[in-house]
Copies of this chain bind each other. A is one copy, B any other.
Amino acid sequence: MAQTFAFPLTLNHVLETGLARAGAHRIHGADGTSRSYPEFAARVARFGAALAGMGLRPGAVIGMLDFDTPAYLEAFFAVPMSGAVLHTINLRLSPEQLVYTINHAEDDVLIVNRALAPLLAAVWDELRPGMQLVFLGEGDTGGLPDGIDFEDWLAAGDPAHVFPDLPEDSEATLFYTTGTTGLPKGVHFTQRQLVLHTFALAAVFGSAPHGSFGPSDVYLPLTPMFHVHAWGLPYLATMLGVTQVYPGRFQPDVTLGLLRTHGVTFTHCVPTILQMLMQEAGEDRTALQGLKMIIGGSALPQTLARAAMDRGVDIFTGYGMSETGPVLTLALLTPEELARPVEEQVTRRVLTGRTIPFVSIRVVTPEMEDVPHDGKTAGEVVVRAPWLTADYLKNAEASEDLWAGGWLHTGDIAVMHADGMLQITDRLKDVIKTGGEWVSSLALEDMLRPHPSVRDVAVVAVPDAKWGERPLAVVVPSEGGLDVAALKAELQKHVDKGDLPRFGIPERFEAIDDLPKTSVGKIDKKVLRARFAA
């Protein structure tokens, strides 16, 4: 037989492709480091040599606890290319969740930014014994035992280290999704999945009439690298060989400085981060000018999108979740939509978007029948794509639910428009099922939030003997206090307009000082339901 080389879809080729294209582009850190792509690749090789020198078991798990740094990007490549699994640890987890996830993942090595070491030191006695520690950054070990210094470790490694040939189905990354119910669940991805996600992004951003991402762009991530590989964009940036900037711990003023200094053109974040950047920029209307920005994580309010566009930001929504690698859809506009006035564009840019290549999306009834694509009929979003987590790690029951019927269940409720634009209207668990009908908690919140007596609001379902569930509005009132009659009258206007069924008006309104938030900054409706269910 001929020695045909069956080319695997592995991450080393993403790195090689970037190396071949990068030219003079560099990878910068907020700490002032600046390296060419060949220097970056040499550090990845040293990193691989250092791991090989540890004599780890095949498929060893390397936990990483860090901000968005160049070292994290090095780990994105070096760890999977070594045949190990990169466990990206969420630095916003509670101490209990930290213990649970590190022990559940069975981490063999922890690479820890010294500034974050106290998080681990506080729970060190509860963590599995025998883990090797590697420290990044400046300072002391924050109460942790001594370990290896990352830079010393790399310096001792061979920059010409040859990585092993690996099959494309090698496990590459692992992290935990906390959700709002139950224990954290481990989602994991193979090298093939990461490569195909990268190619699909390259295809869609390459051929986009706006919001494109190409070799002249300068990239800076504003989502944590522990959160679904910073949405996979660092892999794309590296394959394209573009200039990259890693901002470290998020500080609005520092980030604004980096955007300006490096001429950053492409980023992505949650709405809260955008809001903080705009606040920091204040009267400087040009601080964000020319930025292309994907918004995800939670719904993008039209007012925020419009404000960003007025500052010259090319803003659009992306949709996905931890389980989906993450990107499923992007709200990139068509040339026809781009020709419309800004106020019309905004209504499209905040939608959930259209599928990227090789994503199959259906909006279905509980019986898995497709709902009409009429922009009105809601159903659950179920998906297939080449980069979805195969299951939850060591959790067969939740995996069965996730993949019921051979489609990944997102738990999101959406309508599909005739032109293929998807619009998420709710989380399945946030929908209020009342008298056999669905009422959207998000829609109710959107109707209540603009009222002058409301600073913030969350609507949750509470059990009801007669109707199954009823909506309850939890309001952070503005200075005048909670005015239930005014809010009911506000909602009645929507009933009169036909936006809301009559039974959608809550009987109960409760005041609260602050809405509880989850570790990733979303409103924690689980807590609200528990508190107000009685």
Contact = CB atoms under 8 A, between A and B. Distances in A.
A168 to B, nearest CB: 10
Interface in A261-313: none
Interface in A369-392: 384-388, 390-391
Interface string A157-173: 00000000000000000
A156 interface: no
A207 interface: yes
A402 interface: yes
A423 to B, nearest CB: 16
Interface in A162-215: 196, 199-200, 202-203, 205-209, 212-215
A261 to B, nearest CB: 21
Nearest to A216: B335
Contacts of A384: 5, 7
Contacts of A468: none
A387 B205 CA distance: 23
Interface string A251-267: 00000000000000000
A208 B21 CA distance: 11
A358 B4 contact: no
Contacts of A360: 13, 16
Report, as a range, how many residues of chain A touch the other chain: 35 or more
A65 interface: no
A212 B208 CA distance: 11
Contacts of A9: 196, 386
A183 to B, nearest CB: 18
A357 interface: yes
B23 A334 contact: yes
A280 B407 CA distance: 55
A241 to B, nearest CB: 9
Contacts of A355: 17, 20
7 contacts: A2-B391, A4-B399, A5-B403, A9-B196, A13-B358, A205-B206, A207-B240
